[in-house]
Structure 1
Amino acid sequence: MSLNESTLVTYYARIDSGDLDGGLELLADGVSFAIILPGTAVRGEDRQGVREYLEGRGPVDRRHVPTHATREGELEFVYGAVVEDGVTITGHFLASARIGEDGLITGYQVAFDPELGLASPTLAA
């Protein structure tokens, strides 16, 4: 699977570009999610919960730089770096999603770690 074929990569690209509605349209209405951050986890059962989390972050100059993506059946996995201000790597993420028959994300789990990096990203993305 190429990065361009990944639903999660498309989701991150839309969210990072400021197209919140475009990113959220890739999620099923009843998406179950867990966003695991250092010291906390945000969990929910619907698209509105993801919206509230994203809007609650306030303005951010942050983007996800996916370096690896794979899919096995209905499960998709993406790994990459989180970059602030276009240059500073603040950590790495590992995301997984269950993709429904309609192509929408029905389950989403992501973990972010500011210290451990499994692979070096290319920041040209």
Structure 2
Amino acid sequence: MVIEDYYARLDGPEPLSGLDLLEPDVEFLLALPGKEVTGRGRDDMRAYVAGRPAVGRRHNVVRRGSDGDLEMVYGFITEQDGRGTGSFTSVVLLSPDKKIARYQSFFSPAFNLFPLPEGEAA
């Protein structure tokens, strides 16, 4: 799935390589606690990705589904110590070229469908 490839790149050593999977005029909404980040185009997404702190977060997809040009995933975010910090639900609409044309993601630290990992024992 394209969305899983995007997250793998975002979490990898070259996060900006994920932009290669986006259409030049991609539109997006990232619903985060207390704010929404919206934008249009790779430059807007580049600014968002480049502005994120480098703290070693990882997207862990636990459920996925697709229907034609629509891909959906549910997962949780873990920190470097393996501790889960919240869950996300993301949906993308793919272009005919199989690139992300529209991207919508919701993150919540407060509500999770599945228990979050507790991380390494202290």
Q: Shared topology, TM-score over 0.5?
A: yes
Q: Which residue of 2 aligns with 1:41?
A: 36
Match for 1:94: what amino acid?
T
CA distance in 1, matches of 2:75, 2:87: 6
Q: Which residue of 1 aligns with 2:12?
A: 17
Q: Which residue of 1 aligns with 2:60?
A: 65
Q: Is residue 80–residue 94 contact of structure 1 (8 Å, CA) maintained in 2?
A: yes
CA distance in 1, matches of 2:117, 2:18: 23
CA distance in 2, matches of 1:27, 1:107: 9
Q: Which residue of 1 aligns with 2:113?
A: 118
TM-aligned CA distance change 1:122 to 1:33, over 3 Å: same
TM-aligned CA distance change 1:120 to 1:99, over 3 Å: farther
Which structure would you say has the larger Rg?
2
Match for 2:83: what amino acid?
T
TM-aligned CA distance change 1:77 to 1:122, over 3 Å: farther
Match for 1:21: what amino acid?
L
Q: Is residue 69–residue 77 contact of structure 1 (8 Å, CA) maintained in 2?
A: yes
CA distance in 1, matches of 2:117, 2:3: 18
Q: Deviations over 1:22-66 (max 9, x none)?
A: 211000000000011000000001111111111111212100000
Which residue, out of 93, 97, 101, partners 1:102?
Answer: 97
Structure 1 ranges of 4+ moved more than 4 A: 120-123
Query: Gapped runs of 5+ residues in structure 1?
Result: 1-5
Q: Among the aligned pairs, what percent are the same residue?
A: 36
Query: Gapped runs of 5+ residues in structure 2?
Result: none
Q: Which residue of 1 aligns with 2:48?
A: 53
Q: Which residue of 1 aligns with 2:75?
A: 80
